[in-house]
Structure 1
Amino acid sequence: MAEHVSRAGSATAVATAPVAAPVSSAVASVVPPAAVAPGGPVAGRPRARRLGPGPRRPYARLVGPLLLLAVWAGASAAGVLDPRVLPAPWTVVRTGAELWGEGSLRTDLGTSLWRAAQGFAIGLSAGVVLALAAGLSRVGEALIDGTVQVNRAVPTLGLIPLFILWLGIGETFKVVIIAIVVYIPVYLNLHAALAGIDSRYVELAEVLRFGRWRFVRQVVVPGALPGFFVGLRLAVTGSWLSLVVLEQINATNGLGYMMFQAQNYGQTEVIVLGLLIYGVFGFASDSVVRLLERRVLSWRRSLSS
């Protein structure tokens, strides 16, 4: 009996020996013994290359405008820039302080903000409603989308003479033009986001027997928010771009009117002051929208987060 057991054990050792040798030799050929650290990663393997932009730096978007301002100030101090062509930054700041003390800049600033706010509110509401109606219904898409595409192809500022004939030269036509400029990018981006929602989510909502409002709240809104914020950023910029043109047409106040009057009197520093105020407003409003986007879409993992 003992002899039989010893023969079986030796046979087992002989049978397993040829299997262990190739495995160990294969591992040794792939990973050299010197490269393997006990309890650690392979030392000879190259590190993974970082392809993303890296962590977000606070206030990093201010670097570009501040650098441009520094170059402007340096060129003005060195006498490279002619003050009649482009005044120095301190000259523009001093002019703004004088106009603010007189009260005219405060009045023009408040008027421009109120016009932009009215047109933006109307255009944003119209863009969202039309995009939802066209994106969630084939009938709505047939009635709305083609009309909006035609309106998009027509230059909005080219409609000014027609709207003056319809609405008169006053505040109404200015607000309507701003609203048209705002609603088009909101509609286009929101409608594209609605059309891009994965149909599998819709099928899942149908299987779970979602109601219309629950479907909109849990499927449509999360899927369309990224596109909506893109359109919102474009709309904010568009409202300021249209405002500077509209306030030079039969206006009696506003930043555009102030710049138009400065053109007649050759006051370059006042024109540059108006442009800087528009730029600051545009940069600030875009930053607010971006901050709101990061807060609302905090659940999304992307390169910008």
Structure 2
Amino acid sequence: MNSFIPWVGGKGKLLWIINKLMPDRYTRFIDVFGGSGTVTMCRPIQRGCMEVYNDFNGNLTNLFCCVKNRPMALLAELGFLPLNTRDDFNILYKFFSRGEFTDDYLQEEMDLTEVYLKPPDAEAIRALMLERTPRGSVRRAADFFKLIRYSFSGGAKSFGGKPCDIHRFFHLIWECSRRLANVIVENKDFEEVIRQYDRAGAVIYCDPPYYKAESCYEVEFPPEDHQRLHDVLVTCEGYFIVSYNYQDYICELYQDCYIFRTSRPNSMSQTAGSEYEEVVITNYDPRKACWQLSMDSLLGGDGDTRYELIHEPEHPLKI
């Protein structure tokens, strides 16, 4: 499913290879540099599999917490309410009727239904509000959401220059709130969250700020953090997958791993036909962890998309 926000370095165009290289069996999934949450939310929900979304950007994780736990208050702050159509009400009703909405601020949320909905609609929604939620700043989340949506390429740094109707994203917020219902949202340094959730049956996905492109990201990521990320990953018990831009330094740094190279259209370039090369790195051999893969499929790719195995370690980290 689509995320409710765009984000610098979003992985929508790389999902096909990330999903293809994913192990067949695992018990937890940790999205360490979560960003827009696209990789987490596009995963099929697996019974009994723990999911963790983490990002070091406090404004971003606050927004995710509010989308997950306080959607009614967030929609009110964004100006979506009062509802203008029966379709909007039906979406709201279906969401709450799933029995997944809980809220520490139950009274406040119920009061909002009194203000923005008319009887009997208000009573119908109030009867379904049963949730508890951690404290979060709804106003700060709404302001950050607008900042991202009005900025260029979701970078939250410069005005996008195109009109944006915030109301178009009403449906996405409700859909993403439901998808995040059982996802743990963390706001921690990457090393801390990896060490906390690493297990033998875990998949740890990392999409760090790209090498020599760190200035494009809102949260600081100094050059030495690339080494620090590598050093903590190679000690992991679980599987890990890392996506990076194709750079000699990165390929040399991860010589103890399997490295796959691919390319995609460069959406940030104004030159027609411009492509951007990326690598996907694993600590395991996908041919052994993914039953549907073979050497031919690893080298071939699908349709117009191509990827190739450019490095195979002499001594794999994970057998």
Same fold (TM over 0.5): no
Structure number with larger C-alpha Rg: 1
Instruction: Give 1 or 2: higher helix fraction.
Output: 1
> Could you state the TM-score of these two structures normalised by the residue count of structure 2?
0.23
